[in-house]
Amino acid sequence: MNNFADKVAVITGAGSGFGREFARLGAKLGMRLVLADVQQDALEETFAEVSAAGARAVARRVDVAKGDEIDALARTTLDTFGSVHLVFNNAGVGGSGGLVWENTERDWQWLLGVNLWGVIHGVRAFTPLMLEAAKRDANYRGHIVNTASMAGLLNPPLMGPYNVSKHAVVSLTESLYQDLSLVTQQVACSVLCPYFVPTGIAKAHRNRPADLANEAPPTLSQGVARALSEKAVSSGKVSAEEVAGMVFDAIRDEQFYIFSHSHALSAVKTRAEDIVTPRNPTDPFAERPHVRERIVEALKG
């Protein structure tokens, strides 16, 4: 896809982070935008900004964990603009870290509901619409971008549910790529695997549904994990705006894997070598033993 003008983009998680930057860039490129987020005030801010920039846009409060709300978003897209060309299954949450056995059932339900089921619902609802458009028009081009993480290719400690959700998104998107290749050359897909980028994901617990909240306070390990995550995310040197530019470049080039930090791929290579050797998983702190020591001490309280 080389020309974005007048194309229709659906963006979940549009209220902040990558989603807001996708919307900003889409507006600059003359796209028509369907914005979705669970946080109403943040969604309205993005909508007001892109509208002021001249973009035609609609905004809907959507909980991506609920399939019927994604189905309704798809209907809104067709009713408003008649078609869809880009789908950014981008909504995601962090949190619920700590020692993996200390995560509650509600922790798993919340994280998998947004990070995995949100992407599943987006793929299920929008891919058929794009394939139908391709059948009607030989010049139609569509693209789906699923936001995963480098945690979808690695398994850092104290991030179990998040790792699981993002590995699943990578697998889902690779499966989508292979399945699309059997039926069309007009619809492509990519998986975005960012490393630490300053976004609001470390504070995503602010939007956690009340019915999935834990009755007990966070465990010691969950507190340690949250502190580590907030520090790592806030110290990232690559901006969400820069990542959005990388994503649109990848769409133009039909590039499947999108990485924000190429240096992180060395750890992916090490993990692959662990698997094929085979050998036990490499210590992620092998070159920074002082970090491991600090975490171990923190877990002792």
Q: Provide the 3-class DSSP secondary structure of residue 231.
A: helix
Determine how many CB atoms are found less than 10 A away from the CB of residue 88. 29
Q: How far is CA 155 from CA 159, 162, 272, 299, in A?
A: 8, 9, 12, 19
Could you give the dihedral angle defined by the CA atoms of residues 112, 95, 290 and 297, in that order, rounded to the nearest 10 degrees?
-110
Give the sheet arrangement for strand 187-193, strand by strand.
57-61, 32-37, 8-12, 86-89, 142-147, 187-193, 257-259
The reply to whether 162 belongs to the active site is yes
Residues 6+ apart with CB under 8 A from 266: none
Determine which helix (DSSP H) or strand (DSSP E) holds 8, and give its type and residue range.
Answer: strand 8-12
Cβ neighbours, 10 Å, residue 184: 16
Catalytic residue among 162, 177, 195, 257: 162
Burial zone of 172 (CB within 10 Å; 0-12 exposed, 13-18 middle, 19+ buried): buried
Residues catalogued as catalytic: 162
